[in-house]
Structure 1
Amino acid sequence: MSSSQLPPQPLEKLVVSNIWDQTYQVLKERILARHFGANEKLLIPELAKQLGVSRTPIRDALNRLEMEGLVRTVSKVGTFVNPVMEDNVNDIMNSRLMIDLWTIDQLSVMDEELLASKFDALDALVEHAAASISEGPGINIELQSNFDLMFHLELVRMSGNRRNVEIYKSLMHYRYLNLGEPHVTDEMMMLAFRQHLSIYESLRARDFQAAKEAITKHLAYSRQNILNVIIRSGGEI
């Protein structure tokens, strides 16, 4: 078990309706939130017991997760969580940057009245995150991680391209704030928040070139933070 792996937490039992999709979603969320560590073996009987389901939905969920590249199955050994490596991070960050920059280009040619109507969700997110940070030392890592996720999703959503939103959700699997307390400091989170604020303020000022420069800088910073952790962890996390 790696030092960065979070302590195991019990899973909540599921309701009976749509049990197959629920099982898949819960396990996927747990993997993405790093409650299961890199290369950790996923025990089907234990997962079935914790979720209160039979082993069949667990096996189905693991098959779906393997198709997405989140787990791998070794014949006669078991199913393991796939680690994140340098190539994964570079590919993901390049794709995120491409969608973010395309989104800003779409906003730059949008009707002014329509654009103004799309800021409500982003306004609320920034206000909530700013209030949390102003409370003092000991920044809430989970809250800021969720802010990072929601900020980018809301930005992409503003373009009106729903398919890009779904793609971006999958790309956000490797955002650096999911690395957890051993690797994330208050200073890192504060800087990341300021970078988001710079993007937001540039968009609000209709300075789209500045917004593109700010988002490029922010994703480069996020990329490097993940790569630093991977290097310190021997090439994978």
Structure 2
Amino acid sequence: MQKEASTEPGADRIEKIDPRFLTTLRDHVHKALRAAILSGRFAPDERVNERQLAEQLGVSTTPIKEALRQLETEGLVETLPRRGVLIRFNAGWAEEMILARAALESMIAHLAAKRIEKAEAGKLEDTVALMRKATEDGAADDLISLNETFHEQIHIASRCQYLSRMIERQQFYDASIRRVIHSDPLERGKALAEHAAIAAAIISNDSDKAERVMRDHVVRSGETYLNIVFNKKEDI
């Protein structure tokens, strides 16, 4: 007999874990829950139920408990006596993450402009060209992938190790949020112009401009994120 789909409220907020990932289940559960929280699928101060999460993800409660402990060390959830696990991520927290990411990404861009090699500059130009085509076609999924490639290429060109590790904790857009952002033609145009300006500054070894335009890009896209997730329209 086929198992009926869960009718629990919000049961469709998190996708079930692909069985291929069972060898690293804890990490994938942590990643799935973190993405759901950072995408605003849980409200600030909402109480989460371990058994419901396990059912929604199609796993046992053991990796759920482990993932929640890890999320608690990151400050995204908090376990309180007699109240259970509460979501602590909110608009203020997101704002701080955006500003932290802006500071890190802008410094990485600054160093990339000083250290980029000719072959890397060519790859960055190619990526911007592909972004332009995807923008014209309205190909949101392609833009999501190309955006990741673009920033990764800058990280590689920067030769940063410490900063690149720090930036990992500031990655909070998941594919669903990026898809919403890139569904807007106006937003796609703004993002393309910003990415092209960043690439041009880095390729021309203008480190101060690369730092400035990268920071402006991250802050502006962060404001778009805040508007989507928290309906927060004020500038950061």
TM band (smaller chain): 0.7 to 0.9
1:117 corresponds to 2:83: no
Aligned to 2:41: 36
Alpha-carbon distance in structure 1 between the residues aligned to 2:144 and 2:81: 36
Alpha-carbon distance in structure 2 between the residues aligned to 1:133 and 1:161: 29
Alpha-carbon distance in structure 1 between the residues aligned to 2:55 and 2:93: 36
Aligned to 1:67: 73
Deviation (angstroms), 1:229? 5.6
Distance 1:11 1:107, change over 3 A: same
- Which structure: greater helix fraction? 2
Distance 1:35 1:106, change over 3 A: closer
Alpha-carbon distance in structure 2 between the residues aligned to 1:124 and 1:100: 21
Letter in 1 for 2:87: V
Aligned to 2:112: 107
Any residues of structure 2 matched to 1:11-160 within 5 Å, and which? 11-14=16-19, 15-32=21-38, 34=39, 36-39=41-44, 40-86=46-92, 88-89=94-95, 91-110=96-115, 115-119=117-121, 122-136=124-138, 140=140, 143-160=142-159
Deviation (angstroms), 1:120? 5.8
Letter in 2 for 1:77: R
Letter in 2 for 1:152: H
Letter in 2 for 1:70: L
Deviation (angstroms), 1:134? 1.5
Partner SS state of residue 85, structure 2: strand
Alpha-carbon distance in structure 1 between the residues aligned to 2:126 and 2:43: 34
Which structure 2 residue ranges, 5 or more long, are not aligned? Answer: 1-9
Alpha-carbon distance in structure 1 between the residues aligned to 2:36 and 2:78: 16
Deviation (angstroms), 1:70? 1.9
Deviation (angstroms), 1:123? 4.1
1:165 corresponds to 2:164: yes
Which structure 1 residue ranges, 5 or more long, are not aligned? Answer: none
Supply the RMSD in Å over aligned alpha carbons: 3.6
Letter in 1 for 2:67: A
TM-score when scaled to structure 2?
Answer: 0.73
Distance 1:121 1:35, change over 3 A: farther
Aligned to 2:220: 221
How many pairs are equivalent?
222
